[in-house]
Amino acid sequence: MHYIWMGPLIPTIPEGEQVLMAFKSAFLLLPPRLILVYYIVLIGIWKLLNDKRNKFWVIAEISLVLVICLVVFRLIYFYYVYPGVYGLSNANSSLLSFRNALIILIELGFIAGVAATLKVLRIQNRSKEREKNLVKEKLETELKFLRSQTNPHFLFNTLNNIYALARKKSDKTAEVVMKLSELLSFMLYESGKGTITIAEEIKILEDYIDLEKIRYNEKLSIEFNKKIDNNSRTIAPLLLLPLVENAFKHGVSESRFGSFINIDLELRGSRLNFTIENSFEDTKEKSPGHCIGMNNIRRQLELLYQEFTMDVVNQDKKFKVIITINLDSYGKV
């Protein structure tokens, strides 16, 4: 800018030297610019955003700093830049005319405006990031709470099974304890991960089913059909286990006669289809625990996946849950 302004006043000086002079001029005039920018960025904007009771005085303070910087700018220009850098006499020039003040005000105002805009944008980005992190933490806390609700009665039932086996001095006791140990290890150390492979999730389901089979013996007919095209595909941990657990808790355990559970798990590409159907005894009142369990699972899906469907069919002494998930939509809620 100084190169453009001063060029016509020093036409005999080579263009390269004029550019060098412009750089020297800009360097000498840097202090008032820096003072204004740092004041705006570090003090002025903070006061405007936080001091809601004294807006007038804050604006007056900013205006005063702007005027001081303007005067300092003009003093440096008049006594150092004009005669020292460009070798021009300032005898015929006014120290602070209206025209000069307006030109300097435009330059400093532009600088202050750019600094203020960048600062406000930075504050907004930080605010959005902070809000995003708070929402994420809240959702993670809710998810942990939902998952924790699925574990206690599973552990209680399994310990009862082990107790019954121990009373009978069954040879299966050691095997059951080992399976329970593996499940608990998974729940303690692996379930905290963001995702696990579909193969790991299936292993947990199979181990849980094996534990429950010991409890029901011939009373239960169970089928678990799997069609998986990629075992390394990832899924949120313990997402399907509550559905299987519900089938045992609210279906099979409440049946007095022969009961069944049919599970179909299919994975094609990123599309996972999971269907579980179980028998149940008709009762006048629907089990409140069953409603809570379904709401729990639906909420977990809402927190974890953007694209999913969950359908519940309850008729003819059969209870069926059908879930479809786009595994690529994980974490995009």
| Per-residue pLDDT tens over the stretch 83-125 | 776 666 665 566 677 777 777 777 777 877 888 888 888 877 8
Name the β-bridge partners of 149.
Answer: none
Structure tokens belonging to residue 236: 């949120």
Identify the burial level of 184 via C-beta atoms within 10 angstroms of its C-beta, where 0-12 means exposed, 13-18 middle and 19 or more buried.
Answer: middle
- 78 vs 252, residue with greater confidence: 78
pLDDT, position 288: 43
Name the β-bridge partners of 264.
Answer: 225, 275
pLDDT, position 233: 92
Q: What Rg value do the Cα atoms of the chain yield, rounded?
A: 37
pLDDT, position 152: 61
pLDDT at 308 over 90: yes
Q: SS in 3 state form for 123-147?
A: HHHHHHHHHHHHHHHHHHHHHHHHH
The three-class DSSP label of residue 35 is helix
pLDDT, position 210: 83
DSSP string covering 45-99: HHHHHH--S-HHHHHHHHHHHHHHHHHHHHHHIIIIIIIIIS----TTS-SS-HH
pLDDT at 290 over 60: no
- How many residues make up the chain in this entry? 333
Q: Where in the chain do CATH 3.30.565.10 domains reside? A: 149-329
Q: pTM (2 decimals)?
A: 0.57
pLDDT, position 323: 95
Whether 278 contacts 261, CB under 8 Å: yes
Angle at 208 between CA 206 and CA 211, to 5 degrees: 110
Quote the CA–CA distance of 329 and 308 in Å, as a whole number: 9
Q: Which CATH architecture has domain 149-329?
A: 2-Layer Sandwich (3.30)
- 41 vs 267, residue with greater confidence: 267
Quote the CA–CA distance of 14 and 168 in Å, as a whole number: 106
Quick one: residue 310, left, alpha or beta (phi over 0 = left, psi -120 to 50 = alpha)? Answer: beta
pLDDT at 73 over 50: yes
Closest CA to 227 of 273, 187, 192, 259: 273
pLDDT, position 325: 95
